[in-house]
Structure 1
Amino acid sequence: MGNKDARVDAYIAASAAFAQPVLNELRDIVHQGCPEVEETIKWSMPFFTCKGILCYMAAFKEHCAFGFWKGRAVLGEAMQSSEAERQKDGMGHIGRLTSLEDLPPRRVLLGYVKKAVKLKEENETSPSTPKPRAPKKALPVPGYLAAALKKNQKASAAFEGFPPGRRREYIEWLTEAKTETTRQKRLDTAIEWIAEGKSRNWKYEKC
């Protein structure tokens, strides 16, 4: 069962007389459309949550507003008719509310609430599609490696046949050397392993 928040009771009680029946009606509709809904106060106005923010309501000096967190998805084409009112009032999706007569039919509002809940559930159960990783740019072959490969035909042919990732491993290993002596030692080893068709980390690969 959903829970009611005493702060929302206080918010409604402190609102103007015209706003109280509107806010109470909206509150009842939200609870009917989503029995599991929870109430809270965010940004100094009542919010209704169910697996995240579902909708909200607010009372101003001369009108009330009511809206959904994903208003365009919930209301669809119906939102177009209230676009001008929404822009004028600065918030809400069903226009300027000054009395119960300004509210859409109860069944319509209930439908909106249930649709908002359904969208939340679908979003929660839909598996997220991982973003494809951008392929790494090919590293340029250092001159000293190119020269060493040129002197060893077997190593040169093997290196050319390596996939980009395997070539990258050797290039990074060589360019990360701190001293000329270390780099030369790695270069000699690299040429030997490449000529044998081995990857940089061949010792750790499973047979």
Structure 2
Amino acid sequence: MTSAPSRLKRPRHPMPGFVQQALEARSLTTAYEGRPPYQRNDYIGWIMRAATEETQLKRLEQMLDELRRGDVYMKMAWRPPGQR
């Protein structure tokens, strides 16, 4: 998937291997890539800022569930452009 240049003002967070593996294992890579750049960056930063591995995994599970549902972002209602 080729995406337009990002207009993010915040530092970009690199994709951790365990997050990439989880996305691939659950076939959610396309759903993740379909989210706006700020959402992808926010999810990764939020997961990686967790103080413990247990909290990282809990946050990862929340992200995966929200991607699977497709209508939620950080526990808030969200709709992709074109479905609003």
Q: Shared fold (TM-score greater than 0.5)?
A: yes
Paired position in structure 2 for 1:144: 18
Could you report, residue by residue, the CA deviation over 1:91-140 in whole angstroms, capped at 9, with x for unpaired residues? Answer: xxxxxxxxxxxxxxxxxxxxxxxxxxxxxxxxxxxxxxxxxx97334321
Could you report, residue by residue, the CA deviation over 1:35-63 in whole angstroms, capped at 9, with x for unpaired residues? Answer: xxxxxxxxxxxxxxxxxxxxxxxxxxxxx
Could you report, residue by residue, the CA deviation over 1:135-179 in whole angstroms, capped at 9, with x for unpaired residues? Answer: 3343211111111001111x2111001111011111111001111
Answer yes or no: is the 8 Å Cα contact 1:177–1:183 preserved in 2: yes
Answer yes or no: is the 8 Å Cα contact 1:149–1:156 preserved in 2: yes
Q: Which runs of 5+ in 1 are unaligned?
A: 1-132
**RMSD of Structure 2 on Structure 1 (CA):** 2.4
**Greater radius of gyration (CA):** 1
Moved over 6 A (4+): none
CA distance in 1 between partners of 2:65 and 2:73 (Å): 11
Higher relative contact order, structure no. (Cα contacts within 8 Å, ≥ 6 residues apart): 2
CA distance in 2 between partners of 1:180 and 1:139 (Å): 18
Q: Which runs of 5+ in 2 are unaligned?
A: 1-6, 79-84
Q: Equivalent pairs: percent with the same residue?
A: 32
Normalized per residue, the structure richer in strand is 1
Answer yes or no: is the 8 Å Cα contact 1:145–1:187 preserved in 2: yes
